Amino acid sequence: MADHDSQSAAGGALAPSVPDGSPRTAGGFRIHEEVGRGGMGVVYRAEEIASGRIVALKSISPGFACTPDALQRFHREARLTASISHPNCVFVYGAHEIDGAPVIAMEWMEGGTLEDRMRTGEPVPIATAVRWMLDVLEGLEAAHQLGVVHRDIKPSNCFLTAEGRVKVGDFGLSRSLEADVRLTQTGQFLGSPLYAPAEQIRGDAVDGRSDIYSCGATLYALLTGKPPFPGSDLGRVISRILTEDPAPPRQFRPEIPGALEQVVLRSLQRDRAKRHPDAESLRAALLPFAGEVDVTGTLPRRLGAYVVDVCLVAIASNLTMSAFYGAAVENWLAIPVWTQAAVGLVPIGYFAALEGWRGSSLGKWLFRLRVVPVGPGPGLLARASLRAVVFQLPSLLSLYPLTVLVQDVSVRGWAALAAMIAIWAFNVSTMRRRNGWRGPHELLSRTRVVQLPEAIRRARQTAPAPETHAQPAAGVPERIGAYRVLGLVGAAQDGSVLHARDERLDRSVWIHLRDGAPPAGELRRTLIRPTRLRWLEELRTGDLRGDVFESAGGCSLLDSSARGVRFEWPRVERALSSLAEELAHCEPEAGGPQSFSPGQVWLDRNGNMRLIDRSLIAVDGSELDAVGLLGATARVLLTGGQPGFELPAELPLNAEPLVRSLTGSAPPFASLDALRSALAASRSTPATVERRTRLAQLAASTGPSLLLLGAMILGTLVISGMLPSLMEVNTVLRELRRDQVAGEHPGQAPRPLDEDGQRARQMLLSYELSHARGPSIDASLRPEDRPVCAEAQRTFPDVSEADYTGALQRIRAERGENPLGSRDVFQQPGFLVIVFCAVVVFMWCVFALVTAWIWPGGLSFRLLGLSLRSRRGHRVRRWLGFVRSAAIGLPLFAGYFAAGNMYEKGLRVPAWSLFGLVSLAFLVGMGFSLLQPSRGPIDRVLRTRIVPR
């Protein structure tokens, strides 16, 4: 035994048992077994004798204990790990010495490590792997906020709890952001090169993005069962990391979604500037893959996504057609049917490629929809291709009868409308709520459309109140054991609570000095829920007896109320949910319902909710049940303790019944379970307006109009050449039909046409009808005009360009004026652009005003599940929604209309200046709306706020 102890002291390692096999007792611990060994540390499972809790003891490996650098690194790890108090980081109970060797007592993790899980050889479910990585990122973000880079994220340093959650541990290589040490005295690389980024291997400075690489490599390993660059040759592995790109994960596991693969590969970029910028960004990118998505995409969202996709496909098809036939094509129906069929393949390629690769077309991406496979079968690419073919095949089959068999243009138009209705009826014929609204193309391809959860936007951090330890601690020594007393937190029910500093771990603690009260029981000592303070140790120094807890920091709910600190709804919802779950645990532990005091609710230094033990606060006589405590907490957090209560302007509509019941303006909840269910339902719906949702709303609102405007501008060249001809043809037809001229101008005798004048007009008609614009002119003819045109074509079947020019000059000379009076201005593309903008905006205004009267905010708000609130939290009424839509559209239309008038009057520079200013204001407003999704420029003027429904 003596020989073993001397070895432990010299080598820094602790033997787990004595020669007879029984656990070894040393330093207040009963050491059972060695459970892990790393580059410089050995971990043992041990029992803390005083408390009875199981801990993980970490000691320095033999060969490192006598190295000053190793000792310094070990102590730094203890302090850094202790400074990060987060539910997703392994908690440090204390620093100790056993046989002269430093050890760290840490939280024991029942579930082992992710490396242990990978060694089983069973594939990790994709959603499970993503959820584990989200837990890692949560803990990592807390470390980064303290300026700590982990530098050694890998599966063996990610620990599983008994509940299946993951915590980050082993901060042995961690450095603050400004630190610079990377090699041991032997020149060996610290950390695992299998999961290390290129800059860390090269010895360059590391930052938070280096941990992002390691997280991506760890997720890669969880998904595929191997690291990005596997191998036993260290030199070869390092060379590949520095020079090669990893193989795509889907090469080893085809069922991995393509979009998830892109997220992982972005994290593994050698250039850190191309990676996700921080842990929150990577977390937001992974969130849609964190669950087995089973929320069926709603029909309004699917319709909105389809409209966006159809507009994009229409533009792509027209551009493809123009590439073959040029911009002079004026009658698309005159193009050969096989060419139209080839262009019809554009939507098939569009949907098959995007939905097979990323699971979402651009429209579905905007509306947070995704195509997912149903049941076993081929990969998503094959299913998406079949889905696209089945969906587009009826449209392609209708091209031949519409283009070849139907010659009459007017009949062709009605036939096209009937075919479109029939195709739509076929596509929705099998859609039922019970089958997830799946159409024939989805049933045949075994796919369905699901709605992704909204990304959780982090609530804006409101600075918590300073730590409550300003009161002097009279009659208390400056030091109690290993703790330096800083001040008095407050009086307790049976003593006092001191704020002190643990100089061994450089962290704050609370010391509950008991005044004759019994110490914390075994249940309290082993309690490790994140909403409760961790019990650290029992203190016995002279006549002083007490319990040491981690320090919550921050301030109590009552102090927060006194300071008027108000929180936004996402943060309140998170705080209430955590507090409700804690209260649900308290009732069974106490054997039934309990009463609570508002002073027990505490906002810690990170803004998280804590429930302080009743014994740590002064008795104030207020008694509330669990539901009442949650209601009082909600009122204080939402109002900052101000008298009266108004609904928050940012409150989602779906959370309004919950808040009203909590705050007393509606019947209260009958039980804590009912309240927890309501909170769970609220958490499953968006709490804020995400930027992508706002982008989708803007796209659904203005996108079709902008796309229509773009198509009209692309056709400006065609229209500017065709419109004057149409005007001239109509004028000639009126002149040739003397009876119509007399009918349109009663009391005015028509001017008779001589034979030359009539011949000139017939030649003009024949020429226009027989050239490129003929089909378009023919489609615009009225029935009474057709005999006149037929007679002109029979009389002059072949009119040359010279004959046409002579006829045109003869008509002008006869009229004594330009027969195309408005031709000059309509031939100018600039004027047409302004006119088109004014027309499209006017159409958009009419539609927006009509829908805004039905749904405040308009149809796009209804499609995206958005609504409006006033600054006092009231739902916006119809008249205010109408005014909001008018304030957006009418100034835009007025500006374009005024610019068009200026242009027509020859004031081209002022016209273009006004047009540019109006367009710039519109674009700036759109950009500002994306930067502030819940409050665009008009919302700031009207003091409204966009909220989820």
Catalytic residues: 152
Phi (first) and psi of residue 47, to 5 degrees: -115, 125
Phi (first) and psi of residue 160, to 5 degrees: -95, 135
Instruction: Find out whether 356 and 261 touch, Cβ atoms under 8 Å.
Output: no
CA dist., res. 500 & res. 483, Å (int): 6
Alpha-carbon distances of 613 from 494, 520, 545, 599, 617, rounded to whole Å: 12, 10, 17, 10, 7
CA dist., res. 795 & res. 766, Å (int): 9
Residue 444 CB coordination number (10 Å) = 16
Q: Quick one: tokens of 828? A: 């100018």
The three-class DSSP label of residue 1 is coil
Q: List, as one string, the DSSP characters of 547-581.
A: EEEE---SEEHHHHHHHT----HHHHHHHHHHHHH
CA dist., res. 601 & res. 662, Å (int): 16
Instruction: Find out whether 696 and 864 touch, Cβ atoms under 8 Å.
Output: yes
CA dist., res. 518 & res. 224, Å (int): 53
Q: Quick one: tokens of 457? A: 């936007």
Q: Quick one: tokens of 843? A: 């159409």
| Residue 501 burial class via C-beta count within 10 angstroms: exposed 0-12, middle 13-18, buried 19 and up | middle
Which of 636, 656, 681, 679 is closest to 869 using CA atoms? 656
Which of 285, 216, 298 is closest to 249 using CA atoms? 216
Q: Which residues is 495 bridged to in the sheet?
A: 492, 514
CA dist., res. 528 & res. 622, Å (int): 27
Query: Which amino acid, residue 929?
Result: S
Sign of CA dihedral 496, 497, 499, 502: positive
Residue recorded with tokens 């630190």: 179
Looking at residue 189, what DSSP letter applies?
A: B
Instruction: Find out whether 59 and 24 touch, Cβ atoms under 8 Å.
Output: no
Looking at residue 65, what DSSP letter applies?
A: T
CA dist., res. 548 & res. 150, Å (int): 28
CA dist., res. 777 & res. 773, Å (int): 6
Residues in the chain: 949
Q: Which residues is 944 bridged to in the sheet?
A: 870
Which of 810, 805, 769, 799 is closest to 786 using CA atoms? 769
Residue recorded with tokens 């995400």: 690
Residue 768 CB coordination number (10 Å) = 23
Instruction: Find out whether 89 and 136 touch, Cβ atoms under 8 Å.
Output: no
Q: What is the 3-state secondary structure (H, E, C) of 844-891?
A: HHHHHHHHHHHCCCCHHHHHHCEEEEECCCCECCHHHHHHHHHHHHHH
Helix (H) or strand (E) holding 315: helix 299-325
Query: Which amino acid, residue 67?
Result: T
Phi (first) and psi of residue 6, to 5 degrees: -65, -35
CA dist., res. 807 & res. 769, Å (int): 15
The three-class DSSP label of residue 344 is helix
Alpha-carbon distances of 666 from 661, 663, 670, rounded to whole Å: 5, 8, 12
Contacts of 134 (CB under 8 A, 6+ apart): 283, 286, 287, 290
